[in-house]
Structures are given as structure tokens and as C-alpha cells.
Structure 1
């Protein structure tokens, strides 16, 4: 996987993106920086990372990190768009482990 940094104007949102995203990711990028690139196809159309793209626009970024998924067929690109968005929704939480993590985070912030 090769991560490139490109002008934000060189990539395009997928016009049929069915997901409604909010801008909460902007706070994460401000706090932690870019930790996950935007995935695009050969035409530089976003496959995964629409929310990161919107956050970058909101924050005034001129450049963003991308990965070109040039090894996927058109059908795989469409399937990946869905899988990338849906897989997080299918996850569940271990409430006991989550509580421990939240306690640790609260103690560190204090």
C-alpha cells in the first residue's frame, strides 16, 4: 500500500454516496492528526473516507493523504464502499472493557 499526499482538489466525492455523515471527524483529525488515508479509485473518486474528506475541507486542509485502490474491479469498489461503512455498524461493545477504557481516559485527562 502506497500512501500519497495530494491536493484536496485532485480527489472527488462519490456522487452516489448513500451515507449521511456528520463533521465529528474534524475534531479527531485536529486532536490526533491523519491516521487513516482516504481510499480512492484510479479516477481519484473516493471509495472510503468521505467523512475524512469533509472534515479536511471544513478544517481548510489543502492536501490529504490517499491510497489508490487500483487492484479492485468496479464491482469490488462498490462492495468495498458498502463494507467499509457497514462493518462498524455491525460491531458490538464489550461493556466491561469499554468502562475500563473510559476510566483510564478520564484519569489521564484529569
Structure 2
């Protein structure tokens, strides 16, 4: 019984580690996706350019349970007036998965 329990714990730990690694790998790839789609033309990690920094966006949405969906919609459809007069252009060619990945990546930004 002890062996079975220890084996089960090892399998669960390996699965959790693999899932965390895959999630962080996905988020790491999001930076390349952001670069490829011109996000860095208006945004930077920690400073305002034309649009807010990714850190500022993450701070604004902290604690909002609908943050990922809301931000994904802004990325896909564009937005106006959330951060001043500059409008964020729509990115209709991005897949829903890519939009969600970018939204989650921005929300994970830390100073």
C-alpha cells in the first residue's frame, strides 16, 4: 500500500510539473507572438509608449475574474477610450487561442 501511494504521489507530481511547464512555455511563446503582431509598436513591458505598459494593464485588471475574456475581446476587436484617446486596433486575423494566450500573458506581467 505504501509503495502504491508513493507511486501515485510521484505520478501526480510529475503531471502537475508537466502542466506548469507547458503553461509557462506557452506564455514564453506569447512574447514572440506579441512581437510578430506588432504589439510592441504601441506597448512595452513596464513603460507607456502609445498604449499602456503590459504591467499597467495587469495591475488594472488584477482581481477581475473576467479579465482574460475582457482583454482578449479588446485584443481581437480593438478598443477605444479605456486608456485615453489612442485607440487600440483590432487584430481580427489572430485565432481565438492566440488572443487568449496574449491576454493571459499580459495579465501575468509583473514589474
Structure 1 and Structure 2 fold alike (TM over 0.5)? no
Richer in helix (by share): 2
Larger fraction in strand:
1
Q: RCO greater where, 1 or 2, for CA within 8 Å and sep 6 or more?
A: 1
TM-score by length of 2: 0.28
Relative to the length of structure 1, the TM-score reads: 0.28
Larger Rg: 2
